[in-house]
Amino acid sequence: MKWFLALLCASAALSSFGQTPPPAPGSDDFSPAAEINRVLPPWLTFGGQYRARFEGYTGGNFAPNATDAYVLSQLRLNLTIRPASWLRLFVEGMDARSFEKSPAVPPYQNTWDIRQAYVELGDTENQLVGLRAGRQELKYGDQRLVGNADWTNTGHLFDAVRGTLRYQSYRLDIFAASVVNPVTGALDHHQEGNNLDGLYGGLDKLIPNGTIEPYVFWRLQPRVKDEEGKIANVDEKVPGVRVSGTLPHGFDYGAEMVKELGSLGPDKIEAWAGHWEVGRTAKSVRLQPRVYAEYNYASGDKNPKDGIRGTFDQLYPSGHDLYGMADEVGWRNIRDVRTGVGLQASKNISTAFEYNDWYLASATDALYAASGTALFRSSAGTAGTHVGQELDVSAKWTIRPPLLLGAGFGHILPGEFLKNTTRGNPYNYPYIMAVWKF
C-alpha cells in the first residue's frame, strides 16, 4: 500500500508537470515569476522552483522485506532587491515536505523556513571584488568536500561571510562559515563552535585548457568522541588541490588530492583522499557518447586504539551519485573503481549508464554512506574488504527550459563484506523526478 500511494502521488505530480503551461500573451512559455516581475519595479525580482520526487528502496540495510517508498516535495521562493548596481539583497524561503516517510525529519522534511538570506556588495560570481554575508550556499570544485547537497530535500547551508577577488585568470575565495542545522517546524540555526573556514583559489590559464584549484579548509567541531570514547574538540586542517581540463581528440580529465592534519583531543588526525578521472566524448558519433573511468580513494582507520585517527573526513559534500546513485557509499574508507557512458539522444534528452566496484581501504574500519554516517563494521577485520558492486541507469528530459523530468534506477550486488556483516540481500533504489523553475 505504501508503494502504491507514493507512486500515485508521484505520478500525479509528473502528469501535472508534463502538461504544457498556458502561454502568456506575446510569449511561447508561461512563467509565474515573469508575470509577477512585469508589475514589480526593476530593482525587485521574484523567482522560484518546485521539485517533486518519488523514491524508495527494497533491501534496506541489505535485508529481505525491508522496503520504503515516499514522495519528497520541495518549494523555493526567492526575492532579489537591487537598489544599486553594487548592492544586492537576496532572501529565499523553502518548504520541504515528505509524504509517506516516517519520521518526517531532515534531510527529508523542513517546513516553511528561511533557506538563504544575505547581502552582497559587488559581485562574488563575476566582478573583481565581492563580499557576501549571511545565510548562503557554498560550492567548490565538483563539491566532493563542500557543496549544497541539493539532491537532499533540505540541502547544506552556511551562515557565512565570503569574499572574492578576481584578477585576469586568477581568483581567490575567502570564507568563514558555520554549517546550518536544519530543524523542521522551527527556525534553523548553526551550532556554536562548529566552524568551517577556508581559502579556495583558481588558476585558469596556468596550463592549456585547464584549471588548477589549490585550497585549504580549517574545521573546528566541538563535542566529538575520540578513540577512547571521551568527548573532545576537532581541530582539522585540510589542504588540497584540484586539476581539471580538456585535451585534444575529445579527451577530458580531472584529479583531486586532499590531506587532513590536526587533532581530536589527544588523538592525531592523519588521513588523505584522492580522485582521478579521464573521459572521452565522441562528438562526431551519433548520440555523442562520453565514456569515462575514474578511481576514488579515501583512507580508513587501521587501528582504533593507536591514537591516530585515519578515517578521512569528507566535510560537507554534495555526495549524491559521486560513488553510486543509491548513496550507500561515501568518500570515507573506500576504494572505488567507477566507469560509465553518457549518451545525448537529442538536445533535450540524455541518458547515463554507470558501474561502481567498491573495496574498503581498511578492513577494521566501517563502510560509510554518502552522508558520512557509518553503516556496517567488522572491528576485527574478518569480514573481508570487497563491499560490492552497483549498476545504475538514469535519464533526463528537458521538456522546456524551465521544466525537467528525470528518472533512475540503482542496483547494488553485495560483496563479501556486506554478506558477512548484513543479511546480504541486494539493494534497489528507483526514483522519478520533476523540476519546474519559474
CA atoms within 13 A on the CB side of 330: 26
Q: Which amino acid is at 154?
A: T
Q: Is residue 127 part of a domain?
A: yes
**Mean pLDDT lowest among 106-110, 139-143, 225-229, 365-369:** 225-229
**Mean pLDDT lowest among 19-23, 62-66, 215-219:** 19-23
Q: Is residue 151 part of a domain?
A: yes
Residue 123 has pLDDT above 60, yes or no: yes
Q: Cell 573556514 appears where?
A: 197
Asked whether 296 and 338 are in contact (CB, 8 A), the reply is yes
Q: Which amino acid is at 199?
A: L
Distance CA 366, CA 334 (A): 9
Q: Is residue 278 part of a domain?
A: no
Range of the domain at 120: 71-201
Residue 24 has pLDDT above 50, yes or no: no
- Give the per-residue pLDDT at 85: 93
Residue 348 has pLDDT above 90, yes or no: yes
Asked whether 385 and 377 are in contact (CB, 8 A), the reply is no
Tell me the average pLDDT of the chain.
92
Q: Indicate the burial class of 384 (C-beta count within 10 angstroms; 0-12, 13-18, 19 or more).
A: middle
Beta strands in 65-157 (DSSP E): 67-84, 87-99, 110-122, 129-136
Residue 15 has pLDDT above 50, yes or no: no
Q: Is residue 350 part of a domain?
A: no
Q: Is residue 177 part of a domain?
A: yes
Share of the chain above pLDDT 90, in %: 87
Backbone angles phi, psi at 181, to 5 degrees: -95, 110
Asked whether 185 and 355 are in contact (CB, 8 A), the reply is no
Residue 12 has pLDDT above 90, yes or no: no
Q: Cell 572521452 appears where?
A: 280
CA distances (Å), 132 to each of 90, 118, 145, in order?
10, 7, 21
Kind plus residue range of the DSSP H or E element containing 17: helix 2-18
Q: Cell 580508513 appears where?
A: 300
Asked whether 97 and 50 are in contact (CB, 8 A), the reply is no
Kind plus residue range of the DSSP H or E element containing 39: helix 32-39
Confidence of residue 144 (pLDDT cuts 50, 70, 90): very high
Residue 231: closest CA among 240, 239, 221: 221
Q: Is residue 110 part of a domain?
A: yes
Higher pLDDT, 7 or 240: 240
Residue 170 has pLDDT above 60, yes or no: yes
Q: Is residue 373 part of a domain?
A: no
Higher pLDDT, 126 or 96: 96
Asked whether 297 and 335 are in contact (CB, 8 A), the reply is yes
Confidence of residue 5 (pLDDT cuts 50, 70, 90): very low
Confidence of residue 351 (pLDDT cuts 50, 70, 90): very high
Confidence of residue 30 (pLDDT cuts 50, 70, 90): low
Distance CA 345, CA 396 (A): 10
Domain count, the chain: 1
Distance CA 370, CA 318 (A): 9
Higher pLDDT, 28 or 156: 156
Is the overall model pTM greater than 0.95, yes or no?
no
Confidence of residue 29 (pLDDT cuts 50, 70, 90): low
Kind plus residue range of the DSSP H or E element containing 256: strand 251-264
Share of the chain above pLDDT 70, in %: 93
- Give the per-residue pLDDT at 247: 97
Lookup: cell for 338 = 567507477
- Give the per-residue pLDDT at 28: 52
Q: Is residue 138 part of a domain?
A: yes
